[in-house]
Amino acid sequence: MALLNRHGANAVIWILLLTAPVWMHWVGGYTELGSRVLVMALAAMALNFLLGFTGVLSFGHAAYFGLGAYGTAMTIKYLVPSTPLAMLVGVVVGTLAAAIIGALIVKLRGVYFAMVTIAFGQVFYFITFRWNNVTGGDDGLTNWYRAPIDLGFTKLDILHNPEIFYYVILFFFAISVALIAMLLRSPFGRTLLAIRENERRARFLGIPIERHIWLSFVISCFFVSIAGTLYALLNNFVDPRALRWDLSGNFVIMAVLGGMRSFWGPLVGAVIFVVLQDYVSSMTENWESFIGLFFVLIVLFFPRGVLGIIRRKATS
């Protein structure tokens, strides 16, 4: 893969993302859809740090996504309507939970690890469902709104101006993605690749496997909770569905669909999935069956994902 190719692809992607509010209207989209795609893409890329690059399957990432969302919503609703503070709280809560749970489960592997991540995902779903005087229960947390961001020299009205909010989201997306890229290209990132490729060999190169998996898990959940905070802000609403197993599954399918082994794969997957879901759910009540069918078809016929197939063709 020529260096030019990679830089070229990056450039195209960033240009598209930067100009999205402009061209989205031409293709029948709308800015808010673009914002939603970005949020989901960030979540999927965060998950893929663990899944595609460390080789560890987590099927409960929605828990930390949701914790980020609830942390944000509850801060604005109960504490102070400050967007930066709300985001901070959301990220801290999500990451802390990941650090603790990660430490508990890191001794497990493979399907058993996946099972436990699912179970823990459910724990938080259950908590938000039950603790309804605080979290609003099944109805969710309403009557709060993202507050304008005061930068000192200007105020960003992210509540009323979808374009401005899109760029704020893009800002956080860009920083997160840049950090992820930096980590993956570092010695630490290479160690994670080693664990993915051959855990035994990694162990016999002196790599402390559990510690690295824990770190990868925490980092992955850190970024996913950022996505969660943005999700809450985007919707001015959060409900237990932000923590549910189906959202966790959606993150995974986005990563797989786009191509787990490639950096931008989850973004591609998110674009396809979010747009598809948006379209199908407006067409029929039984959109869940279609999504389910979609999962089945991807797994059976398209496991390498879009970018996986493109890369194959390029190298052959």
Q: Shortest approach of other proteins to residue 195 CB, angstroms?
A: 10
At its nearest, how many Å lie between other proteins and the CB of residue 185? Answer: 8
Please report the beta strands in 142-266, taking only residues with DSSP state E, as ranges in sequence order: 149-150, 155-156
Q: Spell out the residues 6+ positions from residue 254 whose beta carbon is closer than 8 angstroms to its own.
A: 40, 41, 43, 44, 266, 269, 270, 272, 273
**Tokens of residue 166, six digits:** 């899109």
Q: Which residues contact 217 (CB under 8 A, 6 or more apart)?
A: 50, 56, 58, 98, 102, 106
CB-CB neighbours of 248 under 10 Å: 27
Only segment of 6-14, 86-94, 180-188, 264-272 that touches other proteins (CB under 8 A): 180-188
Whichever of 19 and 286 has its CB closer to other proteins, that residue is 286
Can you spell out the DSSP letters for 114-152?
HHHHHHHHHHHHHHHHH-HHHH-GGG-B-S--PPPEE-S
Which tokens go with 225?
Answer: 């909770």
Shortest Å, Cβ 93 to other proteins = 18
Q: Could you say which of 98, 170, 242, 253 contacts other proteins (CB under 8 A)?
A: 253
Name the one range near other proteins by CB under 8 A: 37-45, 135-143, 232-240, 250-258: 250-258
Q: Does 220 bind other proteins (CB under 8 A)?
A: no
Among 141, 169, 194, 274, binds other proteins (CB under 8 A): 194
Residues that bind other proteins (CB under 8 A): 51, 57, 59, 104-105, 107-116, 118-119, 122-123, 126-127, 130, 182-183, 186-188, 190-191, 193-194, 197-198, 200-209, 215, 246, 249, 252-253, 256, 261, 286, 288-289, 291-296, 298-300, 303
